[in-house]
Amino acid sequence: MVIPTPERDGLLKERLFRFADQLGALHRSNAQLPEQLPFVALTFPWLVDLSTMSEDQRNYQEQRKGEISALGFDGDLAKGQLEETLANDKHLRECCPSPLQLAAYFDSRFLNATALAMLAGASQERLDSAFEEFERTTYHQGRFRRIALSHLFNFDMEGNSIVFKGTPPLGDIKIERINAQAIPSILGEHGVQPFLHTPGIGNCFVVEEEGASDTDDLKWLSEKQLKAYYFGQVLQYLGDGVVHLGYSVPVFFPEWAGEVRRSGLFFLGEFRRLPYENGTKSYLLDATTTEQVRTWWKGATSPKVMEALNNQQGKLRQAIWRAGHYFEWSHRRTDAVDRLISIAIGFESLFSPGDKSELTFRISQTAAQFLGKTSAERTKIFSGLVDMYGRRSKIVHGSYDLDKYLKGEFVTAAELDLWSGYLRRALNGFLALYLRGAKDAKRDPVLDRISELNFDDSKRAALQSDADLAELIKEAAS
């Protein structure tokens, strides 16, 4: 889309040639100007936000004003004309929110090259042609847009794009697969293979796109990242497998707007450069799980669920919060032992008895009774958790087999995935009980209900029905 002429600054050409003429005059007088962005260097003391600087830095900028003014450059006039352009030109105002950014764009795309051309005796026809090219670049590439790309580590899906409908205010989530060759430029790196985003970590991103707004880029990106982070949490609680939100990076259109709005690397979050299990165990959405995510996202964004999760009062909610924190953190841990410890703490947050006696046995037994559908499954869960705590104890007390530890054999990814799956199911059960109960519900009554399951199968069925988070999510989504 070409930006309509009425939305542009009618005096832009006149202003630009005046700025270029001033630069040319300074070049002729042999003023010591930097080769790159000389106009920015001249206007910087007038355009920079002095409130962000120290007293010494402010004093230096005042000193620079005097030195630049002595060269014959009117910084106050330049600042005023840049501000007038932003006031009179909607498109430039949307693409370059500050006069300093506008000065950088003018300098990099027109001013310095035109000033040097004037010095070389270029004809007016050539100068006019240069402005016409600048005008096409500025106004013929469509309106301003900004896109937040939030990386989902170890995530894969069928197809290249999925939209999950959500409930306002969070609303919909869009996931797209980004071509691997495009990722380096998105990150601000050069070359065809990015250093930060390595093969095997997944190329799917949460995508949020919008036009111009008054929200500054950092705050806007933080808001989009928070929404994407919540979606990552939904994935973690929905199914087994390592997945988490990594970094978030902004992309701006037109492309030239990105050049002035971000300098070098501009991202939030962290890069996890080593793939999980060499990229062989991705968190995959197939046709079935995609439909489950549709239901879970809609239910998880419902006002009832959001309000309950935002509440952090009550013993039960606090126990779930602590356990959830370590469960979610375990997805991010790259060291197997760190992950083991996080999972173990998660179980303790939910199931540790009040008297603190026989912790391993009682936590393992209570979790097995809560999760197991059959006697055989309960036995398997109990044995697995006893084994997990035995391994954790060896780490804490420094009695582990060093050779196995160094070879990565002390605890395997498969074992951690199994225990993490148990913790996920337990958290989902506690979340369901919390969501069905009072906001100030306590944890001990839940443990008391579990302790009765050995003696009454009907109570087991009732508790496991109440603890069915998937069914509750369906209700919230309907």
Distances in Å between the Cα of 346 and the Cα atoms of 67, 148, 389 are 63, 32, 12
184 within domain boundaries = yes
Would you state the pLDDT for residue 55?
94
Encode pLDDT of 220-229 as tens digits.
Answer: 999 999 999 9
296 within domain boundaries = no
For residues 254 and 147, what is the distance between their CA atoms, to the nearest angstrom? Answer: 11
Joined together, the tokens standing for residue 386 give 């006893």
Joined together, the tokens standing for residue 309 give 């999760």
290 within domain boundaries = no
Distances in Å between the Cα of 271 and the Cα atoms of 58, 151, 152, 187 are 36, 9, 11, 11
Residue 36 has pLDDT above 90, yes or no: no
In the predicted model, what is the mean pLDDT of residues 113-121?
Answer: 93
Do both 389 and 317 map to the same domain?
yes
User: What is the DSSP code string of 157-204?
Assistant: ESSSEEEE---TTT--EEEEEPPGGGHHHHHT--SSS-SSS-TTS--E
- Split at pLDDT 50, 70, 90, the class of 31 is confident
Encode pLDDT of 373-423 as tens digits.
Answer: 999 999 999 999 999 999 999 998 888 888 888 888 999 999 999 999 999
294 within domain boundaries = no
175 within domain boundaries = yes
Do both 307 and 390 map to the same domain?
yes
Do both 201 and 271 map to the same domain?
yes
Do both 121 and 160 map to the same domain?
no
Would you state the pLDDT for residue 32?
83
Pairing mode, strands 204-210 and 173-177: antiparallel
Phi, psi of 246, rounded to the nearest 5 degrees: -100, -110
Joined together, the tokens standing for residue 146 give 């900004």
Would you state the pLDDT for residue 303?
94
- Give the neighbor-by-neighbor strand order of the sheet with 173-177: 161-164, 173-177, 204-210, 145-153, 244-253
Residue 22 has pLDDT above 90, yes or no: yes
Q: Are 215 and 293 in contact (CB under 8 A)?
A: no
Q: Which of 138-147, 351-360, 469-478 has the lowest mean pLDDT?
A: 351-360
293 within domain boundaries = no
Phi, psi of 364, rounded to the nearest 5 degrees: -65, -45
Q: What is the CA radius of gyration of the chain?
A: 30
Residue 439 has pLDDT above 80, yes or no: no
End-of-domain residue from the set 251, 283, 315: 283
Do both 362 and 409 map to the same domain?
yes
447 within domain boundaries = yes
For residues 260 and 51, what is the distance between their CA atoms, to the nearest angstrom? Answer: 21
End-of-domain residue from the set 119, 139, 159: 139
Domain that holds residue 417: 302-477
For residues 340 and 226, what is the distance between their CA atoms, to the nearest angstrom? Answer: 27
Tell me the torsion sign for CA atoms 78, 81, 85, 86: positive
Chain-centroid distance, C-alpha 373: 38
Do both 40 and 102 map to the same domain?
yes
Do both 162 and 240 map to the same domain?
yes
SS3 398: coil
Length of the chain: 478
Q: Which of 22-36, 115-129, 139-153, 373-387 has the lowest mean pLDDT?
A: 22-36
Would you state the pLDDT for residue 363?
95
End-of-domain residue from the set 139, 156, 182: 139
Q: Are 189 and 195 in contact (CB under 8 A)?
A: yes
Do both 125 and 155 map to the same domain?
no
Would you state the pLDDT for residue 356?
62
Would you state the pLDDT for residue 405?
87
Residue 199 has pLDDT above 70, yes or no: yes
Encode pLDDT of 46-81 as tens digits.
Answer: 999 999 899 999 999 999 999 999 999 999 999 999
Q: What is the mean pLDDT of the chain?
A: 94
Tell me the torsion sign for CA atoms 386, 388, 391, 392: negative
Q: Are 252 and 262 in contact (CB under 8 A)?
A: yes
Which residue type occupies 119? Answer: L
SS3 153: strand
- Split at pLDDT 50, 70, 90, the class of 190 is confident
- Split at pLDDT 50, 70, 90, the class of 438 is low
In the predicted model, what is the mean pLDDT of residues 257-264?
Answer: 87
In the predicted model, what is the mean pLDDT of residues 112-117?
Answer: 94
For residues 146 and 251, what is the distance between their CA atoms, to the nearest angstrom? Answer: 6
Do both 189 and 323 map to the same domain?
no
Q: The pTM is what? A: 0.92
Q: Are 268 and 276 in contact (CB under 8 A)?
A: no
SS3 251: strand
Would you state the pLDDT for residue 357?
59
- Split at pLDDT 50, 70, 90, the class of 30 is confident
DSSP state of 219: H
Do both 308 and 336 map to the same domain?
yes
**Ramachandran class of 72: left when φ > 0, alpha when ψ lies in -120 to 50, beta otherwise:** left
Encode pLDDT of 169-188 as tens digits.
Answer: 999 999 999 999 899 889 98
